[in-house]
Amino acid sequence: MANNSLQAAALQKDITPPLGTLINGEFQTRYANKIHDPLYAKSLVLTKNDTVLVFVIVDICAMQQDFLDEVKADIFKATGIPKSHVLISSTHTHSAGAIVDLLMGHADLTYRKKLHQILVDLVIETRAVVREAKIAFGAVDAPEHVLCRRYKMASGYKAFNPVTGGYDLVKTNPFGDEEYILEGNSAPDPQLAYLAIKGLDDQWIGLLANYSLHYVGDTDRGTISADYFGCFAERLSEVLSVNDSNFVAMMSNGTSGEINIWDFMDADRYPKEQHRKSAYIGQDLADKVLRHLKNLQWEEYPALDALYAELPVRVRKPSAQELEEAKRVVRDTDYEHITLDADGYRRIYAREQVLLDAFPEQRHFYIQSFRIGSGIIGALGGEFFAETGLALKAKAASGKYFTICLANDYVGYVPPKHEIMLGGYETWRCRTSFLEDAAEEEIRGVLSEQIEQHIHELV
């Protein structure tokens, strides 16, 4: 085996939680009473000489820094791979097990402990079966499945903000208020990008895709499902898996903070039955990739590198007056019997202010990027807007860069400052949107510098 050859492997492990587990991703805890399709943790390990890069894509809504740091510490103990070279991200399906407390959706601590060991074992086992490989980057546009969910509304419409008690300038997901919609507030990133990996024998090893679609969410509240991420992978595996090969297809979440596919202007363009929309979108995206594979330019000796930074970012907190008012509301609220209306949201976000006040004054935000041959992949631990992803892609060659979000941490939404000024759900101060107004600009700047450094090394 040549010393400078690339070696790679991909594996997956079933992480489907049991019936009765907690599900988060909405304003209140849900309980699993049906399992529609299995959930997986999927790994891709690339190694060349002394450099090892690890991707782990997990069918889960969110994983935070404390949990992932512990997982990475155990991976390091077992393999020697530093956390700077390990990227672990959530797909952001809203129909999975819960290991973090979000809004009033609580964590299943037993499942959290089990998932920790599964992720560690997955990386160890994948590292042990690497073989000589080649890679290629690809990208194709898929604009039809992404829409801005933040809308400019007609004059006179009042978009209530439960944190301030005032009114926002945009409305997220205006259910029932479609007649007031003027237009979407921002442009989505339409690109479906991917990294393909084959053995030198031309047998498939894996494919890591990236698309900036939040999730589909076409299922009952108590159903476990991988959403369109799983449908995409299943379709690719049907076509590319040969003779029970270990091919693993995975879809990661891009910069989709304000992007979904709940079409308020053309509500009839997708099937309405449960799981049909996820299947349609996942399969359509997979078919786009399959048709594009013939265009790939394969690299047999790609360089590997990782850059990593920890950026101190201040936390947005309530003022003393806001905190006292929030405490007054909490004392007056029975959270066991809360209704999801304007008053209920006001009470939920009052609780968030009290809990947020206990946060440290600043958070160390992880910023990571991998160079793999002629391509670069960035990683950010939150829900970033399409604007961020498009700006980062503009730094690199076309089709040679994408950002995996919800990676290595989950700080919630990180909107650009001008979007925070407009208000809307993604900006409401809480434990899922709490970084300072300038955070997006600062984080984007650091990742831009990393991209530029990778590009300089390519020359």
pLDDT digits (tens, 9 = 90+) for 169-198: 999 999 999 999 999 999 999 999 999 999
Question: Which residue is it, tokens 């999801």?
Answer: 340
In a domain, 327, yes or no: yes
pLDDT of 45-64, one tens digit each? Answer: 999 999 999 999 999 999 99
What's the length of the chain?
Answer: 459
pTM for this one? 0.97
Q: What is the DSSP-derived secondary structure letter of residue 408? A: S
Residues 367 and 287 in one domain: yes
Given a contact cutoff of 8 angstroms between Cβ atoms, the answer to whether 156 and 163 are in contact is: no
Confidence (pLDDT) at 151: 98
For 245-270, give one letter per residue: b (16+ CB within 10 A) or e: eebbbbbbbbbbbbbbbbebeeeeeb
Backbone angles phi, psi at 74, to 5 degrees: -70, -35
Residues 215 and 351 in one domain: no
Residues 264 and 345 in one domain: no
As a whole number of angstroms, the longest Cα–Cα distance in the chain is 70
Residues 333 and 445 in one domain: no
Residues 114 and 241 in one domain: yes
Domains in the chain, number: 2
Question: Which residue is it, tokens 């600009």?
Answer: 441
Residues 131 and 251 in one domain: yes
pLDDT of 3-25, one tens digit each? Answer: 589 999 999 999 999 999 999 99
Average pLDDT, the chain: 97
pLDDT category at 378 given cuts 50, 70, 90 is very high
Side-chain-side CA neighbours of residue 169 (13 Å):
7
In a domain, 164, yes or no: no
Residues 352 and 372 in one domain: no
Residues 365 and 352 in one domain: no
In a domain, 159, yes or no: no
In a domain, 167, yes or no: no
Cβ atoms within 10 Å, residue 274: 13
Asked if pLDDT for residue 2 goes beyond 70, the answer is: no
Could you tell me the residue range of the domain that residue 139 belongs to? 7-147+185-311+360-458
Helix 276-292 and helix 227-240, axial crossing angle in degrees, nearest 10? 40
Asked if pLDDT for residue 1 goes beyond 50, the answer is: no
pLDDT category at 373 given cuts 50, 70, 90 is very high
H or E element in which residue 457 lies: helix 439-458
In a domain, 165, yes or no: no
Q: How far apart are CA 249 and CA 289, in angstroms?
A: 11
Backbone angles phi, psi at 12, to 5 degrees: -145, 150
Confidence (pLDDT) at 268: 87
Q: How far apart are CA 177 and CA 453, in angstroms?
A: 47
Confidence (pLDDT) at 244: 60
Asked if pLDDT for residue 212 goes beyond 90, the answer is: yes
In a domain, 271, yes or no: yes
Cα torsion at 278, 280, 283, 286 (round to 10°)?
A: -90
Confidence (pLDDT) at 457: 87
Residues 248 and 291 in one domain: yes
Confidence (pLDDT) at 122: 99
Stretch 347-376: mean pLDDT? 98
Residues 349 and 261 in one domain: no
Residues 13 and 115 in one domain: yes
In a domain, 172, yes or no: no
Helix 386-393 and helix 439-458, axial crossing angle in degrees, nearest 10? 20
Q: What percent of the chain has pLDDT over 70?
A: 99
Asked if pLDDT for residue 117 goes beyond 60, the answer is: yes
pLDDT of 275-309, one tens digit each? Answer: 999 999 999 999 999 999 999 999 999 999 999 99
Stretch 224-248: mean pLDDT? 93
pLDDT of 401-456, one tens digit each? Answer: 999 999 999 999 999 999 999 999 999 999 999 999 999 999 999 999 999 999 99
DSSP-assigned letters across all residues of 81-99: --GGGEEEEE---SSSB--
Question: No. of H helices and E strands in the chain?
Answer: 9, 25
In a domain, 162, yes or no: no
Q: What is the DSSP-derived secondary structure letter of residue 428? A: S
Confidence (pLDDT) at 458: 78
Residues 387 and 275 in one domain: yes
